[in-house]
C-alpha cells in the first residue's frame, strides 16, 4: 500500500456524515491520510453526529447563512473549497449522496483535476425535479466521478444505462447500513401504544404537500386511541413553521427537534410504523423490519418498494389516513411489510470501498 496516499472527504449535512463516517474510520484504520472538510450545510444537526462518532474536522467552511439559496451554497462553497484543496493536494476527493455539498465538492475537485469518488452513486428517480435538486446533483456527480460506489445492482444498472464506464462502477452496498449496524445500544420500548414515527423535510414537500401531511397526522390522532405519534421536525423554517402551526400542542402528538442519531435509531426500533420522505430511513427501516409509508411520489430507493416493505403513497391527506389505518387494522397487510431484509447492504460497504481505493490508487 502507498503510505503517502491522501484522501480528502467533503461533507456538510447530518445524513452525509452518518454515511461517510464509516468510510473515514476504515481509512484511518488502514493508516491512510485523511483530510476531513465540512461545509456545515447543516450546523447543529451535523455537530450531533460528529460528536457521537468522535470525528474532528480539519476544516470547517461554515457556509450557512440565514435565508440563503442553493445559489449561495454553490458559490460560497466553491470559493471556500478552492484554497483548501490547493493546500491539501489530496490524491482523491470523496463525496457522499446527493446534497449541494456533494455537488460542490465534486465540482471543486474536478476543476482542480483531482480524482473524485462518489459514495452512494447511481440512485435515480429519473425525474429531475423530484427530489429537487438532489436528483440532478446525483446525475451530475456521476459524470464527474472516477469511482462510482453503487450501493445496489439497480444503482449500478442506472449508471451503465447513462453511459458511465463499467470500470468506474463498483457495487459495494450502502455505508448507511454500516453506520446503522454499528449502533448497538438497545432502547427499552416506553410506548404503551403503537408508535408512528414521522419525518418530512424534502424541498418538494414545502407548502401545500407538508400541510396535507400534517392534516393527515392530526386526523389520525383524533380518530385513533391506539397510537402515539412522534414527529421529528427539521429546523428549516419552511418545515417547522407549518408543522408547529398545525400540530403544536395536540394530544398524542410529540414534536421533537432532530434527535441524536443513536437515539433516533432507537426510536426506529421502537416504532410500529414509519412515515417519511427521507431516502436514508427507507434503507434503515428495511434492515430493522419496520414498514415505511413514503410521503413522496417518486423514490430513488425502489428496491424496498418492489420488495413490499415500503410503499409510495404521496402526500394526499385521504391517502395517508387510509394507508396508516390499513396497517394499524390489518395484521396480514402489516406482516407482509414488517420484514427484515438486507436490500441495501450487509454492513461491510466501507471495507469494500477502501479496498477498491487501495487497489486502484496504489498501483
Q: CATH no. for residue 260? A: 3.40.50.2000
pLDDT at residue 320 is higher than 90: yes
179 inside domain: no
CA dist 82 and 17 (Å) reads: 21
Domain hosting residue 286, numbered range: 194-337
Which helix (H) or strand (E) is 210 found in, with range?
A: helix 208-223
The pLDDT of residue 217: 97
242 inside domain: yes
309 inside domain: yes
Q: Answer yes or no: do 220 and 168 share one domain.
A: no
Section 183-204 average pLDDT? 79
The pLDDT of residue 348: 96
Q: Answer yes or no: do 331 and 355 share one domain.
A: no
Percentage of the chain surpassing pLDDT 70? Answer: 96
Residue pointed to by grid coordinates 446503522 = 180
CA dist 363 and 358 (Å) reads: 8
Cis omega before residue 304 (within 30°)?
Answer: no
Q: Answer yes or no: do 163 and 214 share one domain.
A: no
12 inside domain: yes
185 inside domain: no
Section 85-100 average pLDDT? 97
Q: Answer yes or no: do 122 and 84 share one domain.
A: yes
Q: Answer yes or no: do 237 and 357 share one domain.
A: no
CA dist 247 and 66 (Å) reads: 25
Q: Which of 276, 281, 252 is nearest to 265 (CA)?
A: 281
**Grid coordinates given for 136:** 440532478
pLDDT at residue 38 is higher than 90: yes
Question: Angle between the 175-182 and 279-288 helix axes, to the nearest 10 degrees?
Answer: 50
**What strand order describes the sheet that includes 273-276?**
253-256, 227-232, 194-199, 273-276, 292-294, 310-312
Q: Answer yes or no: do 169 and 90 share one domain.
A: yes
124 inside domain: yes
Query: How many domains, in total, are found in the chain?
Result: 2
CA dist 175 and 19 (Å) reads: 5
Residue pointed to by grid coordinates 472538510 = 37
The pLDDT of residue 100: 94
| SS3 label, residue 171 | strand
Q: Answer yes or no: do 231 and 274 share one domain.
A: yes
Q: Answer yes or no: do 86 and 139 share one domain.
A: yes
Task: Quote the pTM value.
Answer: 0.89
Q: Answer yes or no: do 10 and 135 share one domain.
A: yes
Q: Answer yes or no: do 303 and 229 share one domain.
A: yes
CA dist 172 and 285 (Å) reads: 19
Known catalytic residues are 98, 120, 134, 201, 203, 234
Distance of CA 151 to the CA centre of its chain: 13
pLDDT at residue 179 is higher than 70: yes
180 inside domain: no
- φ/ψ of 27, rounded to 5, equals -60, -45
- E strands of 234-351, at which residues? 253-256, 273-276, 292-294, 310-312
Q: Answer yes or no: do 50 and 104 share one domain.
A: yes
38 inside domain: yes
Task: Give the chain's end-to-end CA distance (angstroms, integer).
Answer: 8
| SS3 label, residue 79 | helix
Q: Write the pLDDT tens digit of every residue in 207-233.
A: 999 999 999 999 999 999 999 999 999
Q: What is the CA radius of gyration of the chain?
A: 20
Contacts 24+ apart (CB under 8 A), 207-211: 207/238, 207/242, 209/295, 209/315, 210/238, 210/239, 210/242, 210/243, 210/315, 211/242, 211/246
Q: Answer yes or no: do 165 and 222 share one domain.
A: no
Amino acid at each position: 500500500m502507498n503510505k503517502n496516499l491522501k484522501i480528502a472527504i467533503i461533507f456538510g449535512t447530518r445524513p452525509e456524515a452518518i454515511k461517510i463516517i464509516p468510510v473515514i474510520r476504515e481509512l484511518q484504520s488502514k493508516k491512510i491520510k485523511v483530510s476531513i472538510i465540512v461545509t456545515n450545510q447543516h450546523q447543529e444537526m451535523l455537530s450531533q453526529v460528529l460528536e457521537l462518532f468522535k470525528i474532528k474536522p480539519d476544516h470547517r467552511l461554515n457556509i450557512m447563512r440565514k435565508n440563503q439559496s442553493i445559489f449561495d451554497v454553490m458559490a460560497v462553497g466553491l470559493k471556500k473549497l478552492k484554497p483548501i484543496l490547493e493546500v491539501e493536494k489530496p490524491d482523491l476527493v470523496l463525496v457522499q449522496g446527493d446534497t449541494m455539498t456533494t455537488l460542490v465538492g465534486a465540482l471543486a475537485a474536478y476543476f482542480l483535476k483531482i480524482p473524485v469518488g462518489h459514495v452512494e452513486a447511481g440512485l435515480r428517480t429519473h425525474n429531475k425535479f423530484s427530489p429537487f435538486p438532489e436528483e440532478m446533483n446525483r446525475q451530475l456527480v456521476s459524470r464527474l466521478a472516477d469511482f462510482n460506489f453503487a450501493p445496489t445492482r439497480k444503482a449500478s444498472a442506472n449508471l451503465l444505462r447513462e453511459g458511465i464506464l463499467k470500470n468506474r462502477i463498483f457495487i459495494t452496498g450502502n455505508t448507511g447500513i454500516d453506520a446503522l449496524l454499528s449502533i448497538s445500544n438497545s432502547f427499552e420500548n416506553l410506548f404503551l401504544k403503537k408508535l408512528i414515527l414521522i419525518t418530512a423535510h424534502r424541498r418538494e414537500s414545502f407548502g401545500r404537500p407538508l400541510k396535507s401531511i400534517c392534516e393527515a397526522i392530526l386526523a389520525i390522532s383524533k380518530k385513533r386511541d391506539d397510537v402515539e405519534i412522534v414527529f421529528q421536525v427539521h429546523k428549516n423554517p419552511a418545515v417547522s413553521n407549518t408543522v408547529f402551526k398545525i400540530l403544536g400542542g395536540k394530544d398524542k402528538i410529540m414534536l421533537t427537534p432532530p434527535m441524536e442519531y443513536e437515539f433516533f435509531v432507537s426510536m426506529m426500533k421502537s416504532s410500529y410504523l414509519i412515515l417519511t420522505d427521507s431516502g436514508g430511513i427507507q434503507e434503515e427501516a428495511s434492515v430493522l423490519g419496520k414498514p415505511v409509508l413514503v410521503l413522496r411520489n417518486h423514490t430513488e430507493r425502489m428496491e424496498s418498494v418492489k420488495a413490499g416493505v415500503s410503499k409510495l403513497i404521496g402526500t394526499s391527506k385521504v391517502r395517508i389516513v387510509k394507508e396508516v389505518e390499513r396497517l394499524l387494522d390489518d395484521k396480514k397487510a402489516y406482516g407482509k411489510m414488517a420484514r427484515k431484509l438486507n436490500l441495501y447492504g450487509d454492513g461491510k460497504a466501507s471495507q469494500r470501498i477502501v479496498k477498491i481505493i487501495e487497489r486502484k490508487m496504489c498501483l
